[in-house]
Structure 1
Amino acid sequence: MKSLFNSQALQRSSIEELGSSSSVAKAIHLSKPTTTVQFGTSLQHLKQVIGQLAQNEVIPFATHGKWSSHELLRYLLQFTGPASVSLTTWAITEEPLRMIHKLIEEGQITEFNCVFDYRTEKRKPEALQFAQCIVSRVKLTHCHAKILVVQNDHWQVTVVSSANFTNNPRLEAGTIFTLPAVADFYKNVIDNEINK
């Protein structure tokens, strides 16, 4: 499935202004959907839901509990190739981390930076301990944001969603952006939190 929105509807001149949170809301103006939303039923159906990635697209999605954030990450890496991954999440569990570790070992993830909610240390100490063994940089702080940024020389992909990095049977929704300015903005948000 192609992007639900016509990429020509994006105000590209405004996208360059993405440098502050106030400009983000104004930067992207979407036309009405050009097709109906299709919902995934598993990782194998992500192709039907997300489709082929293309540059400068905005792709909204809903999971209906049929796939999780780490499965979406694996799917995106099939298009981008090896890439740096930065993420924020309120909750993370061991199974998604094991899949991420495998992607690191396979060379699909070249750098892995994370911001976790500070309560991860008490809620999921085993997951945090595992994460600390595989991340490039990690920060524990007050965090409820769910952001994923995948970057290399050819791709700048951002996912902003309601989903944590857990196996999630609930309805979650979000948006994929293949817009460099959006990736740069959210990567700066993550880096600023890590560097505080």
Structure 2
Amino acid sequence: MARRIDFNLFAKPAAATNSSSIMPEQLTTVMSDSLKLADTINNIAPGCCAFWVSDGEWSMHQMLMAILDKTGPAEVYMSTYAMSETPARIIAQLVDEKVIIDLYCVLDNRVDVRTAGSLQIIKAMATKYAMVDTHAKVTVIINAQWKIAVVGSANYTENKRYESGVVVCDDAIADQQIKWIKQALADGRS
């Protein structure tokens, strides 16, 4: 008699979430169930410095969604070398649903050549955007309770690479990142 293999024995456990339930239902399906991402998000607290490694399990837009689910609606400042269309569409939904109150976006000058579709989406929904020579991957999330800076290697693309960085909950560091992003927005072309 042939033995049956129970593949459920090897199922990856789902991450426990501390959802604030602000995430629109249609976006909850694209949120990551990575335990490593959940651990990083659970470590975010005032004054924190949480290091993260994605192991290719999740992408930057999924980290942004998880942070916003914890913080509630916020202003978002971001700089990225690359942005693909799926993350741009997800960010657009977050803006439409008022999860992102205002979006300030700095993109590399070649985004119009590499991913014109994502640029069109950003143009339509960003409070302000600019294209400059940048390789910086920075996201700052701000509301009345939080000032969070995420600095790392991950672009706003879907990828299965190892990426790493740090989440810092420090007003001065968040303000420093916003300062140069605002300067890039003023200096860049739109």
TM bucket, shorter chain: 0.7 to 0.9
Q: Indicate whether 1:179 and 2:162 are aligned.
A: no
Tell whether the 8 Å contact from 2:76 to 2:103 is kept in structure 1 after alignment. Answer: yes
| SS at 1:43 equivalent | coil
| C-alpha separation in 2, matches of 1:86 and 1:101 | 14
Q: Who is 1:134 aligned against?
A: 125
Q: 1:50 is matched by which residue type in structure 2?
A: I
How is 1:21-170 mapped onto 2 (pairs within 5 angstroms)?
43-44=32-33, 45=35, 46-170=37-161
Query: For the pair shown, which has the larger CA radius of gyration, 1 or 2?
Result: 2
Tell whether the 8 Å contact from 1:114 to 1:137 is kept in structure 2 after alignment. Answer: yes
Give the C-alpha shift of residue 80 in structure 1.
1.1
Tell whether the 8 Å contact from 2:80 to 2:106 is kept in structure 1 after alignment. Answer: yes
| C-alpha separation in 2, matches of 1:121 and 1:142 | 13
Tell whether the 8 Å contact from 1:112 to 1:136 is kept in structure 2 after alignment. Answer: yes
RMSD, aligned α-carbons: 1.1
Change (3 A) 1:149 1:49: closer
Once the two structures are superposed, residues 143-194 of structure 1 have per-residue CA deviations (whole angstroms, 9 ceiling, x without a partner) of 0000000001110001000000000110000000011111101011100110
Q: Who is 1:27 aligned against?
A: none
| C-alpha separation in 1, matches of 2:107 and 2:48 | 28
**For structure 1, which runs of at least 5 residues remain unmatched after alignment?**
1-41
Tell whether the 8 Å contact from 1:62 to 1:172 is kept in structure 2 after alignment. Answer: yes
TM-score normalised by structure 2 residue count: 0.79
Tell whether the 8 Å contact from 2:41 to 2:67 is kept in structure 1 after alignment. Answer: no
Percent identical? 32
Tell whether the 8 Å contact from 1:50 to 1:61 is kept in structure 2 after alignment. Answer: no
| C-alpha separation in 1, matches of 2:46 and 2:137 | 22
After TM superposition, the runs of 4+ consecutive aligned structure 1 residues lying more than 4 A away are none
| C-alpha separation in 2, matches of 1:117 and 1:77 | 24
**For structure 2, which runs of at least 5 residues remain unmatched after alignment?**
1-30
Give the C-alpha shift of residue 52 in structure 1.
4.3
| C-alpha separation in 2, matches of 1:50 and 1:101 | 22
